[in-house]
Amino acid sequence: MKKNFALALSLVFSLAVVVTANINVNNEPVAVGSTVADFKLPDVMGKEHSLASLKGSKGTVLIFVSTGCPVSNAYNERMEKLAQDFKARGIHVVGINSNVTESSDTIKAHAVENKLSFPILKDKGNKIADRLGAQRTPEVYFLDSANKLVYQGRIDNAQNAAMLQTSDLRNAIEEVLAGKPVSQTQAKAFGCTIKRAS
Amino acid sequence: MRRTITLTLVLSLSAHIATIAMAQWRASFTQARAAAVSGDSKTKLPTVREVDAAGVKKLLQRGEGTNARPLLLNVWATWCDPCREEFPDLVKIDEDYRARGLDFIALSVDDVAEINKGVPAFLQQMRAHMPAYLLNTPEPTVAINMVDPTWGGEVPATFLFDRTGKLAFKHTGRIKPDELRAAIDKVIDEK
């Protein structure tokens, strides 16, 4: 009996070690398949939000955005449509602005001007960009309901919407909503460098 | 009375001549601007060649063999502020190192519509003479991974390959000229 108890305890302990190791809490970029630890950032009004408070019941799309990057701006309408299309289906879109060159007031005015209704958080000191390993705008981190990273990279293949061929992010979201594994977990595109605090 | 008529005639004639001269000046100015955009022979814009992902692979494999030289690749776009800001430094580096054995390629990721407009116009403004290309591909991931699998596609991005084709130095964001020059010195000095 004692032996069985010790074995069970040992198994539980081993499992806990494996789960903890898979949650990203240090500064290594988050790899697809690992879990993003909760974080807090202020919105453009200065109000703090946690990832837990903003996440969707089925998943969360974190998008690193910029007010001045022409590539990010080329996606304004597509990002807003994405947020609207999937909100009722349990997927929430959250913008993160890590550019040291763009103030909360600028981000607020830009969101109003471009009719962006999803929350945009200000990542002062690019702490979350560093934690996730984000390098450009726009860049997507799509988390499932358990905050596990299931897709990372571009929104789609074409900055110019007329050249659109592959809606990588939408495909990943549809697969998650259908309970399927994401077939394409990473895709790249050209974008602007995140302007980090020196 | 005669004097008044003569004066009026002279003034009228002068005004007429001035109007014609102004119209001619305007026409020549418009022609010069049009020539700058269209690439007319007198103000010929630099040539920018279109490449796809396979073309990028060929560019990276250039000079394989005994004549191989180190290669500096700058990926940029006219819509990118830090790309434009760092370009004068890159032009200077090209001028300083070309004769010392460095190949330099500027690869634009602008929309293909800019291949005969904004891209060559900017290169001309910068007095840039390195070979210039524009990447036109529906699938950027392939080209990005071909240059460097750890690169996400953010621009500007500058890559230095040694004469064996191995990536010796890379920098994303605006270059630090001293740092880049030190890396170039090192690969040029390697025998």
Residue A12 confidence (pLDDT) = 46
Q: Does B79 touch chain A (CB under 8 A)?
A: yes
Q: What is the ipTM of this complex?
A: 0.84
Q: Does B141 touch chain A (CB under 8 A)?
A: yes
Q: What is the pLDDT of residues A35-85, one digit of tens each?
A: 999 999 999 999 999 999 999 999 999 999 999 999 999 999 999 999 999
Distance CA A40, CA A49 (A): 5
Contact A135 B172 (CB under 8 A): yes
Residue A10 confidence (pLDDT) = 52
Task: Quote the DSSP letter at residue B113.
Answer: G
- CA-based nearest distance B173→chain A, Å: 6
Distance CA B1, CA B33 (A): 48
User: Phi, psi (5° rounding) for residue A195?
Assistant: -85, 100
Percentage above 90 pLDDT, chain B = 71
Residue B62 confidence (pLDDT) = 72
Contact B145 A188 (CB under 8 A): yes
Q: What is the pLDDT of residues A145-190, one digit of tens each?
A: 999 999 999 999 999 988 899 999 999 999 999 999 999 999 999 9
From residue B83, give the alpha-carbon distance in Å to each of A139, B58, B107, B156, B186: 19, 24, 11, 5, 24
**Among the ranges given (A135-144, B32-41, B100-109, B133-142), the one the predictor scored with the smallest mean pLDDT:** B32-41
Of A197, A61, A67, the residue nearest A127 (C-alpha): A197
Residue A198 confidence (pLDDT) = 80
Confidence grade of residue B26 (pLDDT, cut at 50, 70, 90): very low
- 3.40.30.10, 2.40.30.10, 3.40.50.300, 2.30.40.10: CATH of A28-193: 3.40.30.10
Q: Which residues contact A185 (CB under 8 A, 6 or more apart)?
A: A32, A33, A150, A151, A152, A172
Instruction: State pTM to two decimals.
Output: 0.82
Q: What is the pLDDT of residues B143-177, one digit of tens each?
A: 999 999 999 999 999 999 999 899 999 999 999 99
Residue A68 confidence (pLDDT) = 97
Q: Where are the domains of chain A?
A: 28-193
